[in-house]
DNA sequence: CTGTTAGCGCCTTCAA
DNA sequence: TTGAAGGCGCTAACAG
């Protein structure tokens, strides 16, 4: 009738031991005589006993559950991170409470997840709002930001060097002879995009060029659907190369260019930022920065486990190395 | 120091009422004098009290948490369903414990999730193994299969009519004059693929054609990466049209054809099955069956809420209508 | 090596 | 409308 029918008491009675002993064998405590352990295990199996994790959580103050917040589970950037998180989580026997915080009041979602007594939280998103930061500071539950820099450097985070990556991309484009390199990203620039923009600027300045406002393109949302109009603007501009934040956006621009007779990469080069599967699907395929998405998630979770186990000297701000994948949207 | 510092006792003391009263206002029980309710609420706010969901779960035997199992969170088919599930879940105030069951022993994962006392479970996957079915039957926790038919019709599920959809696709291709229509799917055929295959066969038979073994193509895995070799086989076969299970696979075949000079759709037509974003990214864009992925997830979760609330007469096997999106990979 | 005994924080009768 | 009291199932000292 109920979810849980057989309890630790039932096992204890049936095995003719105390519940403490049953608890010990369930928790792998070694101070149990092998013969009684065997007896208990037999009864557990026979009765199909399954320890109630909720009761366990209440008594031990540990739930072996971590909260994971992300803006959009269908976004390849975020779900790639999530995969890494999930793998490491299950390796360490943690469950994940997933919250697609898109459109919901994040601090509300966070409060709710904290009420569930998660042992830790991984936060993914475009930026860290003040209300969320406040929640984080108010609780003792460990937090890690995955793929998002903390502008105040208070909260542990795992990232690549977005500035450096974009700097390198632009330098490369310059070397290939492109003259008017545009920058396309969603506005307003959130944390990571500010970093990327800085890398773009730095490269231009080193090359003795100044930033041309006419080469700064923006969209309100980096999702695929919103790329059509901006692509048209870009085509009509003097840009002969473009670095893009968001593969979906980059794909949209690429298709628009090709569909409208622009030769890529001869007349127009495109470099994108996340190296998701889309980059290999478009024609021409897209040259891209290759951030180790899975690893960012995995490392974030690994750090969280250390934090949850109260280990000392946990690395707080990890910068993972990135690579580049040269494909057909650039000359090289 | 601890996760949870302020408890219901603290609030009771501070508000000078009993904890029972605090519990009542927290749970929206109406039998509380407005003035004392106000007082309690004030204290709750002032103390930043947050009810401990674990304790609540233990006492009430409800966790307002549901388990969601899927094989791969980076797969667009599954994460689209997950988005629908998540939206409805948060609408009904449920949290989701997400388990990427890929490569792990599913029944183990399931047992683990059941130990967390979830109020219900949504299962997604390619098939329902016997061990999982056994687990499901052994527990009283409600289950719903999302995007997966139960071959034994025991467990509630939400799907489209895969057989009918493929039947219609093949009929359409036949009408357009294609003579040798191939069928490409991962082998062995799991539940849904068997349905799809049946639709393919049914259409051919109605047209007086028999199934040609040389037109049955297979891969071990429907993911994008494994499509190269099979695409080459298909190109060398007599097929002049192809229905594909899995958009990633379809994209791979399309790119291979185009890259190798085959004219799509003039010489070769392709129809895919899930209408994920990829279909609009390839050139030519892909004609596709349009299953309401988000809705399948949403309806599954809606049904699960009814089951969890022990409502009567809950619809058990829902078949949602599908559509078709005609794009450039077919003549029409 | 094993049992006894308090709680963990909250819900929920049952009385008042 | 409110309070007292007994669990929910398990962990974790503390004895023995």
Per-residue pLDDT tens for B220-259? 765 545 677 889 999 999 999 999 999 999 999 999 999 9
A57 at the B interface (CB within 8 A)?
A: yes
Domains (range + CATH), chain A? 3-51 (1.10.260.40), 60-160+293-322 (3.40.50.2300), 162-290 (3.40.50.2300)
The reply to whether A55 Cβ lies less than 7 angstroms from strand D is yes
Closest CB to B73 among A65, A82, A104: A82
| Nucleotide closest to A15 measured between CA and C1' | C2
Q: What is the pLDDT of residue B1?
A: 36
Q: Which nucleotides of C are covered by protein (CB under 7 A)?
A: 1-5, 7-13
The reply to whether B63 Cβ lies less than 7 angstroms from strand D is no
Q: Look over chain A and give the mean of its residue pLDDT values, rounded to a whole number.
A: 93
pLDDT higher than threshold 60 for residue B2: no
What number is the average pLDDT over the span A52-72? 96
Distance from C-alpha of B93 to C-alpha of B208, rounded to nearest angstrom: 53
pLDDT tens digit sequence for A93-138: 999 999 988 766 898 999 999 999 999 999 999 999 999 999 999 9
A98 at the B interface (CB within 8 A)?
A: yes
pLDDT tens digit sequence for A151-190: 999 999 999 999 999 999 999 999 999 999 999 998 889 9
Express as a percent the part of chain A with pLDDT over 70. 96
A46 at the B interface (CB within 8 A)?
A: no
Q: Which nucleotides of D are covered by protein (CB under 7 A)?
A: 1-13
Scanning A129-168 for CB atoms below 8 A from B yields 138-141
**pTM of the full structure:** 0.94
The reply to whether B31 Cβ lies less than 7 angstroms from strand D is yes
CB contacts, 8 Å: A80 with chain B: 74
Scanning every residue of chain B, which has its alpha carbon at the shortest distance from the alpha carbon of A111?
B50
């Amino acid at each position: 009738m109920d979810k849980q029918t057989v309890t630790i008491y039932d096992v204890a009675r049936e095995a003719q031991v105390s519940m403490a002993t049953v608890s010990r064998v369930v928790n792998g405590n070694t101070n149990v005589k092998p013969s009684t352990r065997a007896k208990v295990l037999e009864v557990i199996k026979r009765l199909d006993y399954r320890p109630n994790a909720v009761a366990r959580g209440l008594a031990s103050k540990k739930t072996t559950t971590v909260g994971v917040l992300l803006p959009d589970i269908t976004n390849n950037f975020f779900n790639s991170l999530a995969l890494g998180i999930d793998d490491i989580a299950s390796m360490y026997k943690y469950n994940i409470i997933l919250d697609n915080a898109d459109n919901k009041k994040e601090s509300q979602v966070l409060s709710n997840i904290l009420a569930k007594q998660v042992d830790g939280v991984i936060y993914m998103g475009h930026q860290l709002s003040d209300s969320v930061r406040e929640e984080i500071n108010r609780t003792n539950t460990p937090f890690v930001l995955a793929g998002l820099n903390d502008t105040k450097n208070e909260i542990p985070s795992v990232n690549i060097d977005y500035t450096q990556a974009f700097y390198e991309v632009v330098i490369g484009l310059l070397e290939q002879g492109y003259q008017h390199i545009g920058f396309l990203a969603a506005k307003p620039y959130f944390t990571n995009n500010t970093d990327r923009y800085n890398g773009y600027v730095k490269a231009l300045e080193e090359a003795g060029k100044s930033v041309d406002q006419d080469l700064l393109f923006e969209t309100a949302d980096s999702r695929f659907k919103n790329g059509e109009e901006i692509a048209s603007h870009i085509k009509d501009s003097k840009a002969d190369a473009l670095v893009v934040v968001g593969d979906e956006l980059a794909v949209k621009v690429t298709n628009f260019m090709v569909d409208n007779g622009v030769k890529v990469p001869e007349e127009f080069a495109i470099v994108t930022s996340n190296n998701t599967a889309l980059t290999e699907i478009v024609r021409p395929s897209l040259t891209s920065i290759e951030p180790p998405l899975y690893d960012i998630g995995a490392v974030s979770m690994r750090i969280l486990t250390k934090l949850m186990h109260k280990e000392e000297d946990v690395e707080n701000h990890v910068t993972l190395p990135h690579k580049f994948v040269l494909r057909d949207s650039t000359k090289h």
